[in-house]
Structure 1
């Protein structure tokens, strides 16, 4: 193996530590000034130490501190509180403002709204910056907006709601990882004026992609097949049917629907073959490398510059220029160089799942593949090719498995079968897809070619559908905590190091890692075995969950069954490691931890002269709350999501006058009773 520059790896680690420190421990603006002064001092020391002929340990410490500080400040200055002109400093709470917006990206619409990312250029005539989420009601809008379009609107900027039930997907946290800290919900009447803004490179790429999609819609390609082409070639996943996407996920083939390093690698091979004749000229190698890199970046731009694509194109760019200047490198060096460069440019990518999975998959492929090659070498060409596909797939799966279990809680057992069948034909699908996109754009796509591609994609979808139907091989609802993720990666790395070079110290380290993982597993079992009662938030329904160890009993106020796979139960039961689930009708009066809990429904009937601890109001009971409080003397009152909002406001005022704790699950979220 070629020389690995471990300095690049160390620099990357310290940069990541700086970003994580800034994320979890942000400083105040006042303290930030002193830290900047400290960074300047560190930089001066580094320059002085660099001039010494013989470097000492202090030079290394100062260098690592520079990368740590770079990560810290690079992340910190992207937070709204450290941006002088961020719109959050100028927008009043719950007050309509005159906003000038510029559309930066079209997103996948939901059932009721078209969605966009927009830059806030001005608030009430004052120049600002910052990105927000724009929701435009479908019913009120005659046409959708395009990238770089300017909107003048009069409305209120609101926060992106946090999840109201425990262990649910936090959309607001996900938006913050994209640099989005607010949202607008508007109808067409609130749009005062529209205009075409100054064109940008990203905007032009998005509009080009939208134009290509529009032309593809006019061809004879079927809906599902067209959606697959758009995903493969353009990175456009908005039109993929949800059920079809879930089938790809269940089959372990969802990675082919997201333009990633695999697609960039195939495109690189295609371009290298097409431009091979250029290598014969005097400067042919130079022009070939530059042309391929430019086209790869053009493809990345067209597909939306997702983290995985950007990672792949950056790596290929480093490879191409290293080869061009005859500089020795290897995959590990190039991987960490691209990692370092991209995080310096945008530290927010560190918290995006696509970025994490992309780098983990490639790192483990590059690191473990030689071990697999050594174990499965064959003199037969066909066996070597099949083994290569298997080895690459297994290495990537090893790399992403702990993180995938943490985020998705499922494991496709037939992922090897899927990849053995799909990967060899992906190059054909990519080549055919590129050809179809080019011909559709020029409006010269013949019907026979569209029909042929329909047939290929139908065959692929049919195979994916068959694999997805094998439910016994899809392991769902796997509980995997963040501690288990850390323990699993430590175990994988140490075991791999031992298998590469069997030494006594590595064996001891591997055994310690196994012991640590078992300890984490036992600890997880202990912390998830406690008892708990939760009043969930669900509109127009009353749901109470009683957790007793690994058993979950759901109380409902009606006789209909609430499937355990539905919101909000599915994520909750997986996160707290539930094994058995049952349902019962909600009782009116019961005890939990020696506390009497009364459930008052629309009938408004309650027991006389019985002291209670918690009063749960459901389905808008018509009662005099003042008298009820005087009679029952509750310690706290809770209203769930089944009540009318006007009733809740009235109850809240009464409780405020009585100085009694009041909670509304539709506002404060699910309520745990200790």
Structure 2
């Protein structure tokens, strides 16, 4: 549904400059002083007020664009100010501004245990300096390697040493940027603790409502376990119905991701919509009474927000609850409302509350998907006109899936680098199982304590989930089920959205300039992708990866590569660091080579300790492979020290090498010693084990 006039969608008009202001503060001056936007906001606001008083004398009504422009400027700087105020690094009382001895923190979310490490976010509300306490603010990510830390809970207050550090950037190309992810959550520091380094001061000091919601959710998760037996089904039920993802396996996540149904595992708009449909049916009889519509709306909103509470007030559910609540209120008290305007209003108020929602992938996906349904679905639905009732209903469902997938495709490609080919089949397949699971789950949460009924509902819930998982697994392993390794630049990401919006708008309005814009954008996208591909094909590189305690060297020749590593391609570190880099370079053929193996290819020869790649020579020095002294005239480009070689920098002075590479597989003490020696002797060296990876172009 596209509005006929912008007056029908005022919040859409307000939202655009407001988001632009947030984006400006986020990308160009995240830690800048707030004075500039405040001054600009004040001047624009005063000018706007003055023009309203002088509306007639200055004949402003003849130049309406002046007032509109000023309003957009005001909203732009309001968004900038909103972000600057929310960014904790801009606050003068942030805990990092003072050198403290200890921190007093309060756990602000539900602690998660993984491989013996308990991780949670905490609010630092006091620091201790010389025995005195000072009030501060700020968030801190804490990881505790201690089995007793499993007893910690939301709201517990701890005292810890002030040994925090800045979250590090990604070390390898194309690696997931955890630093940016945490900064988008307003977290900039982290701390690792071990037994005896923390002390519990008080329990249950957090928000009582959030504490109750988290405990209620944990109680309901245990309730699922009482009458269900399959761990995978229990994990999916807990995730799908309650938003509890701690027990979800990677295999299940992969099946849902590759089939384009990952949205099912995020309790959001679709789940709240199913609850709304059920409540609308149950309370429909109230419409017959005088104040029935108001009572029905109040009851539905209360139950929806109660559901948001038992899911732990997750951001996705809260977004959906706000959106649905505003739709309910609008439908109850107005005969003709714009769903798009309500959608924009909910986004506007949520961004006022937390401007960093704008960089949250879930926020972007949910609002884009709903916008696609509101704007694009009617256009897609008109592509075909089926006379048969059930064929028309089936096409209606298909149009919903197509509209949502098309509008979210650039975002999914940009963040997740894949496209599910059979998304239409998988989304149609899960409609009935998801509805059965959701409604059975709601009934189970209410009636699960009834002996026979609870067991029956648990059985139906478990079998429905197993059927859905089995079906999605079959689709996942079907031929050509997923297009992987889609890596697009921000420019290509923007061009994709220009193409999608302009093309659909052309289908709606049939204006020639929209078609021209679509074709020009498609040409620019094709040129950008082609140039990127040509650059990758014509570039030969040696990349020394930073894999901590592992070895990793990538010899890239066009779209082929040999990887010298001690990691298997199924290893988590390989998939996280090496695989993503190869995919981003569009490497089609790859070969893993062990450090002790030899090989001969068209562009690389490894014989013992020596590697020849194009015109570059690498000499490996380690304690397993003792090197023989090379010929006097052999120029070594890279001397690669790995696995704690029994040597020092001085003993290597007879080797004619250009760059010393100190690998992360060496012990920390040896790396420190070699670093100090290299610095003292003015040797050109790199340390991918401790610092970022390094890439050298060999052609």
TM-score band, normalised by shorter chain:
over 0.9
Instruction: Go from structure 1 to structure 2 and tell me whether the alpha carbon gap of 1:257 and 1:85 turns closer, same or farther (over 3 Å shift).
Output: same
In the alignment, the residues of structure 1 paired with residue 492 and residue 40 of structure 2 have an alpha-carbon distance, to the nearest angstrom, of 37
Q: Name the SS of the counterpart of 2:82 in structure 1.
A: helix
- What is residue 44 of structure 2 aligned with on the other side? 42
Q: Deviations over 1:54-76 (max 9, x none)?
A: 54332112111111111111112
Contact map agreement 2:228 2:234 (CA 8 A) in 1: no
Q: Name the SS of the counterpart of 2:661 in structure 1.
A: strand
Is 1:133 the counterpart of 2:141? The answer is: yes
- What is residue 512 of structure 1 aligned with on the other side? 520
Q: Deviations over 1:56-103 (max 9, x none)?
A: 3321121111111111111122223311222222355xxxx4222211
Shift of 1:445: 5.7
Contact map agreement 1:11 1:64 (CA 8 A) in 2: yes
Shift of 1:519: 1.8
- What is residue 574 of structure 1 aligned with on the other side? 583
Shift of 1:649: 0.8
- What is residue 116 of structure 1 aligned with on the other side? 120
In the alignment, the residues of structure 2 paired with residue 287 and residue 273 of structure 1 have an alpha-carbon distance, to the nearest angstrom, of 14
- What is residue 636 of structure 1 aligned with on the other side? 659
Contact map agreement 2:233 2:466 (CA 8 A) in 1: yes
Shift of 1:444: 8.3
- What is residue 550 of structure 2 aligned with on the other side? 541
In the alignment, the residues of structure 2 paired with residue 272 and residue 430 of structure 1 have an alpha-carbon distance, to the nearest angstrom, of 15
Instruction: Go from structure 1 to structure 2 and tell me whether the alpha carbon gap of 1:464 and 1:673 turns closer, same or farther (over 3 Å shift).
Output: same
Is 1:293 the counterpart of 2:296? The answer is: no
Correspondence for 2:157 among 126, 145, 150: 150
Q: Deviations over 1:128-161 (max 9, x none)?
A: 21122121224344x4322222222335212333
Correspondence for 1:304 among 312, 319, 331: 312
Shift of 1:285: 1.5
- What is residue 325 of structure 1 aligned with on the other side? 333
In the alignment, the residues of structure 2 paired with residue 81 and residue 453 of structure 1 have an alpha-carbon distance, to the nearest angstrom, of 46
Alignment of 1:160-171 (within 5 A): 160-171=167-178
- What is residue 696 of structure 2 aligned with on the other side? 673
In the alignment, the residues of structure 1 paired with residue 306 and residue 35 of structure 2 have an alpha-carbon distance, to the nearest angstrom, of 39
Contact map agreement 1:131 1:181 (CA 8 A) in 2: yes
In the alignment, the residues of structure 1 paired with residue 111 and residue 425 of structure 2 have an alpha-carbon distance, to the nearest angstrom, of 33
- What is residue 370 of structure 1 aligned with on the other side? 378
Shift of 1:539: 4.1
Shift of 1:571: 0.4
Q: Name the SS of the counterpart of 2:382 in structure 1.
A: helix
- What is residue 289 of structure 2 aligned with on the other side? 281
Shift of 1:590: 4.6
- What is residue 670 of structure 2 aligned with on the other side? 647
- What is residue 349 of structure 1 aligned with on the other side? 357
- What is residue 507 of structure 2 aligned with on the other side? 499
Across the aligned residues of Structure 1 and Structure 2, the Cα RMSD in angstroms comes to 2.5
Shift of 1:190: 2.0
Contact map agreement 2:622 2:646 (CA 8 A) in 1: no
Shift of 1:282: 2.5
Q: Aligned pair count?
A: 665
Is 1:623 the counterpart of 2:623? The answer is: no
Is 1:238 the counterpart of 2:246? The answer is: yes
Shift of 1:306: 3.7
In the alignment, the residues of structure 2 paired with residue 494 and residue 593 of structure 1 have an alpha-carbon distance, to the nearest angstrom, of 47
Shift of 1:562: 4.5
Correspondence for 1:24 among 24, 27, 37: 27
Instruction: Go from structure 1 to structure 2 and tell me whether the alpha carbon gap of 1:664 and 1:331 turns closer, same or farther (over 3 Å shift).
Output: same
Comparing 53-62 with 284-293, greater Cα deviation is found at: 53-62
Correspondence for 2:83 among 65, 75, 78: 75
In the alignment, the residues of structure 2 paired with residue 419 and residue 518 of structure 1 have an alpha-carbon distance, to the nearest angstrom, of 30
Comparing 216-225 with 641-650, greater Cα deviation is found at: 216-225
Q: Name the SS of the counterpart of 1:528 in structure 2.
A: helix
In the alignment, the residues of structure 2 paired with residue 340 and residue 436 of structure 1 have an alpha-carbon distance, to the nearest angstrom, of 36
Contact map agreement 2:102 2:159 (CA 8 A) in 1: yes
Q: Which sections of structure 1, spanning at least 5 residues, go unmatched?
A: none
Q: Which sections of structure 2, spanning at least 5 residues, go unmatched?
A: 599-605
Is 1:198 the counterpart of 2:223? The answer is: no
Q: Deviations over 1:444-495 (max 9, x none)?
A: 8632332232222222222122222214322222333333221211111111
In the alignment, the residues of structure 1 paired with residue 35 and residue 172 of structure 2 have an alpha-carbon distance, to the nearest angstrom, of 39
Shift of 1:212: 2.0
Contact map agreement 1:221 1:450 (CA 8 A) in 2: no
Instruction: Go from structure 1 to structure 2 and tell me whether the alpha carbon gap of 1:309 and 1:611 turns closer, same or farther (over 3 Å shift).
Output: same
Is 1:263 the counterpart of 2:271? The answer is: yes
Q: Name the SS of the counterpart of 1:318 in structure 2.
A: helix
In the alignment, the residues of structure 1 paired with residue 450 and residue 196 of structure 2 have an alpha-carbon distance, to the nearest angstrom, of 38
Q: Name the SS of the counterpart of 1:180 in structure 2.
A: coil
Shift of 1:647: 0.8
- TM-score scaled by structure 1? 0.92
Shift of 1:371: 1.4
Shift of 1:505: 2.4
Instruction: Go from structure 1 to structure 2 and tell me whether the alpha carbon gap of 1:494 and 1:134 turns closer, same or farther (over 3 Å shift).
Output: same
Is 1:481 the counterpart of 2:489? The answer is: yes
Q: Deviations over 1:313-348 (max 9, x none)?
A: 222222222223326322221222222222222111
Comparing 70-79 with 44-53, greater Cα deviation is found at: 44-53
Contact map agreement 2:433 2:468 (CA 8 A) in 1: no
